[in-house]
Amino acid sequence: MTRMTTLALAALLSGLAAAPLHADDAVSTSVADLYKDKSSLGGRQVNVQGKVVKVNNHIMQRNFIHIQDGTGNAADGTNDLTITTQDDVAVGDQVSASGTLLLDQDFGFGYRYSLLLEQARVTKAR
């Protein structure tokens, strides 16, 4: 592991240590509202639903998925949420995701996320 990757991973994990872990405290919201309310929702448990539009499996020992729910603006990127999970989903799946919302995560090498739903539990809608 390179020094830059190690530092990025350490920063990410330190942010998770302070995150609440109680599902009872989770806020259900839309993708657009996550961007709008990010300052008050950062570090909190959130629930969001949407359609999977992109999947990158087994990156840094997790799956990165992108969902959209029809809210937000494509021009400024507020219509798309990146989620990390151990769960397997496919492009086109309708899903619900619950995890900790992290702000301004930078993994280096151009992988920077203003919002990231980390360690989410993702379930397919029936």
User: What pLDDT score was predicted for residue 107?
Assistant: 86
Give the residue, 110 or 18, on which the prediction is more confident: 110
Secondary structure tally for the chain: helices H, strands E: 3, 6
> How confident is the model over 70-92, as a mean pLDDT?
97
The domains of the chain, with CATH numbers, are 3-124 (2.40.50.140)
Per residue in 3-47, pLDDT (tens digit) is: 555 555 555 555 544 444 445 578 999 999 999 999 999 999 999
Instruction: Report pLDDT for 46.
Output: 97
Q: How far is the first Cα of the chain from the last one, in angstroms, to the nearest whole number?
A: 40
Give every CB contact of residue 78 below 8 A, 6+ residues apart in sequence.
31, 32, 35, 36, 72
Prediction pTM value: 0.79
Amino acid at residue number 95: V
The pLDDT assigned to 37 comes to: 96
Give the pLDDT confidence of 46-66 residue by residue, as tens digits: 999 999 999 999 998 999 999
Q: Which tokens hold the place of 18?
A: 């302070």
Q: What is the pLDDT of residue 109?
A: 85
Q: What is the DSSP string of 67-98?
A: EE-S-S-TTTTTT-EEEEESS---TT-EEEEE
Supply the pLDDT for residue 20.
44
- The predicted structure's pLDDT at residue 21: 46
